[in-house]
Chain A
Amino acid sequence: MLKTIHCTVNGKAHTLDVDIRASLLEALRAAGFTGAKQSCGVGECGACTVLIDDQPVNSCLYLAVRAEGKHIRTVEGECQNALSPIQNALLEAGAVQCGFCTPGIVMSATAVIEQSTSPLSPTQIRHSMAGNLCRCTGYEPIVRAIQNCQELGSHAPQGPCQGE
C-alpha cells in the first residue's frame, strides 16, 4: 500500500509516494539519495545514518511513512558547492578508506559538531560516534578529524566537491 508523505530532503520540499512497508532508507534510495547505505539493517552499524530534524537516526529502523513533515538531511546535502568542514577534515585526516561507512560517519559527525557548544574530548567524541562502525580505519583518524574540525571551527578550508 502506498502513502503520500511530504517532507524536506536537504532543504528542498519533496512529495514521496512511499510503501508503508518501506524504511526511510529504502524510500530515500528509491528517490535517488543513495548516499546512505544499507548494511546491517538492524540499527547496529550506522551506515544508513541520516539526520531527522537535525538528530542522527538509523534510517533502516525508521519507517518512511513516519517522515511526514520531517526535515531530512543526507550526505548529498552536506556537499553543496564545496565539501563541508567535516568532510574536508575527514579527507585531511585520512579517515576514509573503503568509504562504505563514510556517509553515515559524515552525518553523525555533522550532528556532533553542530550540537557541541565546546570542543569535545576524544572520549566524548567516541561516545558520540559509538553508533557508527568502521572496519577499515581503526577510528583514530575519524576521532582526529572531528577534533581538528572542532578546533578549526567554521574557518576550515573548503575543498572542491567530487563530481562538480
Chain B
Amino acid sequence: MFPIESFHTPCSLEEALDLLQKTPCQALAGGTDILVKLRETLQAAHLIDISALPELCGLSLSPMGLLRLGANTTFAELVRAPLVSAHIPVLAEAAEQVAGPQIRNLATLGGNLCNGAVSADAAAPLLVLNAHLLLQSAAVKRRLPLSDWYKGPGKVALLPGELLLAVEIEAPGYSHVGAAYHKYAMRGAMDLATIGCAAGVRLGVSGPEQGCITEVRLAYTVAAPTPVRCPKAEAAALSIVAGRVPSPDLIQQMLAAMAEAVPDDVQPRTSWRADKEFRMQIIQTLAQRVTLLATERAQLLSAVKNS
C-alpha cells in the first residue's frame, strides 16, 4: 500500500486546476517517479489523476509548423509516433533509452520534465530543439523556454497550482536541423545516464548560406546541477564554421574547438557513478562524437531535400 490520503479524478482541466489551487495536491501522470518516492516516505499524499485530461494528451503539428507534444505523451508513444520520427527523431532516439519497456509505457514526457531530474533523457534533445513549455494555473497561462525551466537539482520553475500542458517546438527549432542524442550509462537499460549529450546542427537552405552550418547547439544532462545548453562550445564551433561550406577538415577543427571550450559550460560532479574527471572526459568526447553525428544527419537531410 502507498501512503495516499486522497485520490481525485477530475473530469476537466478547470476542475484539476481548481483542485491544485485549493488543496495541497500532487498531479499524477504516469506515476513511475511519484509512486517510487511514495514507497520511501510515510507522509500521505493527495493525488490528482491528470492522465485523462484531453488538454495534456496527443501530438499535433500546426500549419505554421508548431509541434505540440502533450505532457501526458508516454515515452513508448514518442518512440512510435510518426510525427516524432518525421520531424524530431532525436526525441524518439532518447525516449527509447529511458528505463525499460514497462516504464516507457507509463512514464510521460511531462513527468520527466516536472520531476526536475538532472538525468532526464528528454531534457537534452528538447534543449537543442529550443523547446518551450506551456504552463497553466487557475489564474494564468504562460509559455517558458525550456532553458529557463531548471532551477537546481530536482527544482523546476513550476509554480504552485500550475500544470505543464504541453511541450512546443517551433519550426526553426527542428527544420533543417540534424540532431543526435547519446546516453552514456553503465548499463544498456534500466539505468540513469552518467552523461547524456544532445547536439543539433542547422544548415542554411538558400542564398549565400546554403549548405553552410548556421547553428550548432549542444546540451547535456548530468554535466551540471541541471540539464544545460553550452553557449561557449556553440560559439566556439560557429567561430570556425560560420559562413563556410563545411569540409571534413573544417568539421574536425570545429569539433576540436568545441571539446576545448565545453569545460567552461559544465560543472560535472563526483558521485558513486563516476568521478568528475571521468565525466569531463566523457563530456569532451561526446561533444565531438554527437556533434559529428548531428552534422552528418543535417547534411543527409539537406541532400535528401535537394535531390
Contact = CB atoms under 8 A, between A and B. Distances in A.
Q: Is the interface of A mostly helix, strand, loop or mixed?
A: mixed
Given A43-B32, A55-B76, A61-B106, A66 B49 contact: yes
Nearest to B2: A21
Interface in B1-39: 1-4, 6-7, 9, 28, 31-32, 35-36, 39
B101 A130 contact: yes
Contacts of B60: none
Given A55-B76, A58-B106, A66-B51, A130 B1 contact: no
A23 interface: yes
Nearest to A20: B7
A131 B190 CA distance: 7
A41 interface: yes
Contacts of A130: 100-101, 188-190
Among B2, B102, B188, B190, find the residue whose CB has the most chain A CB atoms closer than 10 A.
Answer: B102
A26 to B, nearest CB: 7
A61 B31 CA distance: 7
Contacts of B105: 52, 55-57
Contacts of A111: 101
Contact of B102 (A26, A63, A108): A108
Given A20-B6, A21-B4, A58-B102, 17 more contacts: A20-B4, A21-B1, A42-B36, A43-B36, A52-B105, A61-B35, A62-B31, A63-B2, A63-B47, A66-B31, A66-B49, A127-B189, A130-B100, A130-B101, A130-B190, A131-B100, A132-B100
Interface of A: 1, 3, 19-23, 26, 41-44, 46, 49, 52, 55-58, 61-63, 65-66, 108, 111, 126-132
